[in-house]
Amino acid sequence: MRIQPRQHLLEIWEALIRSSYVKDESSKESHWAWGGADSDDSVYDTQQLLCLMFPAAEVPAFALETPDETIDAVVGVLAPFGTAIQIPRVLTRILTSYLERHSDTDGNPRFAGGGYFVSDTGESPSEEQRTLDVTESFALSITLTLAILGFARKFREGLRSKSYIAEAEKLEALASKRLTAAMVGLLRSFTVNAFEAESPEGRLLLASMNETNLPTRRLVEELRRELRDVNAGLRDLTIGSGREAELEGQTTLFECGWSWGVIDGAPEIVDATAGGTQRPGVAQDAPYLYFTTVALDGIADLFSTRTRVLGLLDAEQRRLADSLQLRWEMTQRYWAKLATFGVGDRWPLESMPWNTTDAEHSDYFSLLVSAIVTRDMVERRASDERLSRLGRVLAELAKRGRVTERAEGADPAVRLHSPGLRVGLGGADKVGGPQLYWQVSDFGAVLLKRIVRIAALIDDVELRDELLRLGDRVWDHLVQRRLSAGAFKDLWDEPSNVYAQLGEGHSLTASWHHTIRVVESLVGAAELVRSDPPRSEFMIRQAQHSISEAEHLYDQELLDGGAESGKSIRDLLQTVHANLLRAKEIQYERPASAVAIVQKVLRELDRLAAARQDAKGR
Amino acid sequence: MLVFATSDKGGTGRSVTSCNIVYRHALHGGNVAYLDFDFGSPTSGAIFNIDGATRGTTRGGLHKYLLGEIPEPTRLEIWDESDRSSLRGRPDGAGRLTLFPGDEGGGEFAASPEIVGRCISLFSRLEEEYDLTLVDLSAGRSYATDIVLRATADPSLSKVISRWLIFHRWTRQHVYAAAGLAYGDRGIIKSGEERGHDHDKLKDTIRFVRTAVMDPRSQELSGLRAAQVAWLNDVNDDLRELAGRLQIGRTTMLGSVPIDPVLQWREQLISDTDTITRQIANPATVDAFVTLAKRLTDEWPDL
């Protein structure tokens, strides 16, 4: 693998600190320069801090909370914060100011989209629009606050000074409040959209499911049967809008997932007061693929091993997490079933691009659906065959998205990367202002993240290597897209480095949207590298057979009295013995290494045998 | 400022490191006193190359002073008395460097109110005369430790900043031993509490110094085989984890001194001549002493 997660993450941290922890010219003191221009840019600020906190929480070597254990390379990269002891203290202040910056004057957490909202009319989003809470901020905040909670607790344990303890406790309390608020936000933005098979949405959905040309009636039946368990799971849920999903009709179809923000008319969640006041929503009552994927990623952190082992959730949060988990499972199941529906030799996912029920189509949607399918396969420990099929989908997307292939002339695929896909935010104009969009351009990085995830699951050595090679090629592409100069050098994203069609580079600041996706991919790659090497049954058999032959020959030497015939033979036999023990010790975890050791042993033993043969004149 | 240097085990290089620290401090202009409280084996004269005091003085040292046999302990001014040419003559800008030797043929003795009283009065006088008074205690739990814990608990010394340095080598056994000496049942903090010290305040005054540390990345060890370095790295990680768990990790570490042949075989001060002109000692060792000397008197951050 050409991706070196440790090295690359250190480089990103170095660039992050260089660009974001800047010295004030007048006071000579350093401060955190926020990713967003305004205090309503919660998404940028969260992504920027996650670039630091996500690896710190997920990769043991990058942990920051215990100065005694911080590794030297990390201390070196974070030197602008101060010594190893000062690093977590400075960080505590930065994280606290983040949590305060994104709360209103009464201390209620806010998840505003801010500068992320764009319009296509030239009219700027109104003040009211800029402060609308968005799902992406809820989801990112879950990941970030969980990272902060783990950090604050462990850091606090090592402290004695009362003032520092108070700071750590304040940080923990603020993070916990934001976590509750983010969970409430996600519950209120979840939705199920039911429609009839004959409706426009129904027809679009059926058209993309019909790989085998079934008559419509049969298709509807088949699809409903396939989705029966999801349907049952959703039936008892009160969805964000407060309605109960009505999915009973014989020809009723549905979609589930997350809208872009709190749904219009969503009631307040009772018994979740710790998260502060709940503002009314305006978002369209329908799932969006992009926000669904983002929400699934964030929610998954709520029941990760780390969250459970460290006991990061309080009782109220555990209740909310249970509710979210049900929605999370159903949604994942729904999209995975849809994507791999049918008995034919072709998954709907394999017909690119993916069509949404609001008549949009893009390879980006195919990628998002693949992302959900990846999650589902991880959850269900899918077979190598299915995993590698999904891997081929990603390889195809890499080609079509012009990540592993060159873009010639006015290739429309370049638009995936710049300006990216525009997602219309239905309902955002209700508070006054233009129609709003969400711009997403992280195609390449999302691709890498999923490739690494699948590669980590596959046992088959060749399939795994194939995926890693694909991952390397996507990484090569991403590396080229780093900014090559200026304050944000070595961060992302400068697509014109790869796509000459886009003209001269013009990115002056980092795209945290892009950079955090790369960081997530690298964290995934670090996990992959930390795991045991893939086991090959073939190699294990070879190791066993080689060891068996070597042991037999060794025993023969002993029987022949080799151990008593002088120092040099005795030394040799001792070495042989030690090597054999070592080979047996590692034969299951690292069979190829075991074979290499035994081969040396066999050569040594054969030298003795050959010499004897010669002596006997044979 | 009073600094007490101690260690749980012998052979940590406590005395030689302490001497080098005060030497560096004096070179930077500080007035420094070095008190040899290792009554069983007062050998600091050897480290400063004072031939007449290689195994303590015969003219009446700290031992006799504390027992009340003489009114004042002997002082030896290093810049005048050292027999080593590179130490003779006070360098430009350097402060005083005074050794208070122990007595030849002395021995351990238990604390009594009179002895503690004399100790307090000595510390008070030295505090006025010197910027830094370093008291070299013997290894392990000794009567000397008991005396100074009683003395520093006295209200008349409450205004004086006192600090503790615990020296240990960077090995599993030494890490356990050093942690035990500080935090254990018969450790400094427990004993201090019994003698009237505040637990948290005393704990805040303790820092650790690692000696004879092998840094696998250092130039000096570049000759090691790859397998040796891999092994060293792993052992180092284990030790770091252990030290952190026992509260003697980086947070409470004042500094570390790399392994150095000159320190190992010739327990002496390392002068600039040794590193620059003769190149027998490593510059990294001198850097470590300079850093330690500076950090010792800097303000320590709250933990």
- Most confident stretch, A315-319, B83-87, B271-275: A315-319
Cross-chain Cβ contact A69/B249 below 8 Å: yes
Question: Which helix (H) or strand (E) covers residue A32, if one does?
Answer: strand A30-32
Cross-chain Cβ contact A69/B200 below 8 Å: no
Phi, psi (rounded to 5 degrees) for B88 = -75, 140
- The verdict on B243 touching A (C-beta cutoff 8 Å) is yes
Task: Write down the pLDDT at residue A246.
Answer: 74
- CA A399, A404, A406, A407 torsion-angle sign: positive
Cis-peptide into A493, omega within 30 deg: yes
Residues 6+ apart with CB under 8 A from B123: B2, B133, B151, B152, B157, B160
**Residue A465, Cβ neighbours under 10 Å: how many?**
14
Closest approach of A301 to chain B, Cα-based (Å): 27
The pLDDT tens digits of the residues spanning A340-396 come to 998 778 899 999 999 988 888 999 999 999 999 998 998 888 888 888 899 999 999
DSSP letter at A426? T
- Give the type of residue at A269: I
- Mean pLDDT of the B85-102 span: 91
Rounded Cα distance between B4 and B145, Å, is: 9
Q: What residue in B sits closest to A71 (Cα-Cα)? A: B237
Rounded Cα distance between A116 and A522, Å, is: 25
Rounded Cα distance between A452 and A458, Å, is: 10
Write out chain A residues lying below 8 Å of B251, CB-based.
67-68, 84-85, 158
**Residue B80, Cβ neighbours under 10 Å: how many?**
11
Domains assigned to chain B:
2-297 (3.40.50.300)
Task: Write down the pLDDT at residue A478.
Answer: 95
Higher pLDDT, A213 or A499: A499
ipTM, interface predicted TM-score of the complex: 0.74
Look at residue B28 and tell me whether its pLDDT is greater than 70. Answer: yes
- Give the type of residue at A600: K
Which tokens in the block code for residue A33? 């320069």
User: Would residue A100 be called left, alpha or beta, if left means φ above 0 and alpha means ψ between -120 and 50 degrees?
Assistant: alpha
Task: Write down the pLDDT at residue B141.
Answer: 83
Cross-chain Cβ contact B302/A164 below 8 Å: yes
Q: How confident is the model at residue A240 (pLDDT cuts 50, 70, 90)?
A: low
Least confident of A230-244, B35-49, B222-236: A230-244
Rounded Cα distance between A310 and B144, Å, is: 45
- Choose the mutation target among B199, B251, B253 for the interface with A, i.e. most A CBs under 10 Å: B251
Cis-peptide into B101, omega within 30 deg: no
Rounded Cα distance between B58 and B61, Å, is: 7
Write out chain B residues lying below 8 Å of A76, CB-based.
none
Rounded Cα distance between B177 and A175, Å, is: 40
Judge whether A232 and A181 are in contact, CB under 8 Å: no
Q: How confident is the model at residue B265 (pLDDT cuts 50, 70, 90)?
A: confident
Q: How confident is the model at residue A397 (pLDDT cuts 50, 70, 90)?
A: very high
Cross-chain Cβ contact A160/B241 below 8 Å: no
Q: Is A458 helix (H, G, I), strand (E, B) or coil?
A: coil
Rounded Cα distance between A251 and A221, Å, is: 8
Rounded Cα distance between A84 and A268, Å, is: 44
- Mean pLDDT of the B78-107 span: 89
- The verdict on B227 touching A (C-beta cutoff 8 Å) is no
Residue B271: closest CA among B26, B38, B95, B15: B26
Q: pTM of the full predicted structure?
A: 0.86
User: Would residue A460 be called left, alpha or beta, if left means φ above 0 and alpha means ψ between -120 and 50 degrees?
Assistant: beta
User: Would residue A423 be called left, alpha or beta, if left means φ above 0 and alpha means ψ between -120 and 50 degrees?
Assistant: beta
Which tokens in the block code for residue B234? 């792993």
Write out chain A residues lying below 8 Å of B301, CB-based.
85-86
Least confident of A65-69, A139-143, A234-238, B4-8: A234-238
Which tokens in the block code for residue A239? 């969805």
Strands (E), A101-159: 117-118
Judge whether A243 and A166 are in contact, CB under 8 Å: no
Write out chain B residues lying below 8 Å of A84, CB-based.
250-251
Q: How confident is the model at residue A245 (pLDDT cuts 50, 70, 90)?
A: low
Q: How confident is the model at residue A238 (pLDDT cuts 50, 70, 90)?
A: low
Rounded Cα distance between B193 and B186, Å, is: 11
Least confident of A557-566, A579-588, B36-45, B230-239: A557-566
Which tokens in the block code for residue A18? 């260089």
Rounded Cα distance between B230 and B225, Å, is: 9
Rounded Cα distance between A273 and A290, Å, is: 29
- Most confident stretch, A89-98, A460-469, B86-95, B261-270: A89-98
Look at residue A115 and tell me whether its pLDDT is greater than 80. Answer: yes
Which tokens in the block code for residue A51? 């670039």
Q: What is the mean pLDDT of chain A?
A: 91
In angstroms, the Cα distances linking B17 to B24, B161, B216, B254, B285 are 11, 21, 21, 13, 10
Phi, psi (rounded to 5 degrees) for A351 = -90, 105
In angstroms, the Cα distances linking A16 to A152, A386, A400, B26 are 21, 38, 32, 42
Q: Is A559 helix (H, G, I), strand (E, B) or coil?
A: helix
Judge whether A611 and A558 are in contact, CB under 8 Å: no
Look at residue A196 and tell me whether its pLDDT is greater than 70. Answer: yes
Closest approach of B56 to chain A, Cα-based (Å): 40
Q: What residue in B sits closest to A85 (Cα-Cα)? A: B251
Task: Write down the pLDDT at residue A291.
Answer: 97
- Mean pLDDT of the B48-61 span: 88
Strand partners, A354: A362
Residues 6+ apart with CB under 8 A from A381: A457
Write out chain A residues lying below 8 Å of B243, CB-based.
68
Q: Which residue has the tokens 């000692």?
A: B281
Q: What residue in B sits closest to A165 (Cα-Cα)? A: B303
Which tokens in the block code for residue A346? 């072709």
Secondary structure of chain B as H, E, C letters: CEEEEEECCCCCCHHHHHHHHHHHHHHCCCCEEEEECCCCCCCHHHHCCCHHHECEECCCCHHHHHCCCCCCCCCEEHHHHCCCHHHCCCCCCCCCEEEECCECCCCCCCCCHHHHHHHHHHHHHHHHHCCEEEEEEEECCCHHHHHHHHHHHCHHHCCCCEEEEEEEECCHHHHHHHHHHHHCCCCHHHHHHHCCCCHHHHHHCEEEEEEEECCCCCHHHCCCCHHHHHHHHHHHHHHHHHHHHCCCCHHHEEEEEECCHHHHHCCCCCCHHHHHHCCCCCHHHHHHHHHHHHHHHCCCCCC
**Any idea how long chain A is?**
618
Residue B82: closest CA among B63, B101, B60: B101
Report the helix count and the strand count for chain A, using DSSP H and E.
22, 9
DSSP symbols for A291-343:
HHHHHHHHHHGGGSHHHHHHT---HHHHHHHHHHHHHHHHHHHHHHHHHT-SS
Q: How confident is the model at residue A418 (pLDDT cuts 50, 70, 90)?
A: confident
Question: Which helix (H) or strand (E) covers residue A77, if one does?
Answer: helix A72-77
- The verdict on B249 touching A (C-beta cutoff 8 Å) is yes
Q: Which residue has the tokens 């060293």?
A: B232
Q: What is the mean pLDDT of chain B?
A: 90
DSSP letter at A21? E
Rounded Cα distance between A51 and B32, Å, is: 49
Task: Write down the pLDDT at residue A28.
Answer: 83
The pLDDT tens digits of the residues spanning B115-173 come to 999 999 999 999 999 999 999 998 888 889 999 999 999 999 989 999 999 999 999 99
Our CA angle for A126, A127, A130, nearest 5°, is 90
Of A69, A70, A160, which is closest to B303 when you measure between CB atoms?
A160
Rounded Cα distance between A348 and A359, Å, is: 16
In angstroms, the Cα distances linking A301 to A9, A103, A143, A308 are 21, 23, 6, 10
Higher pLDDT, A273 or A350: A350
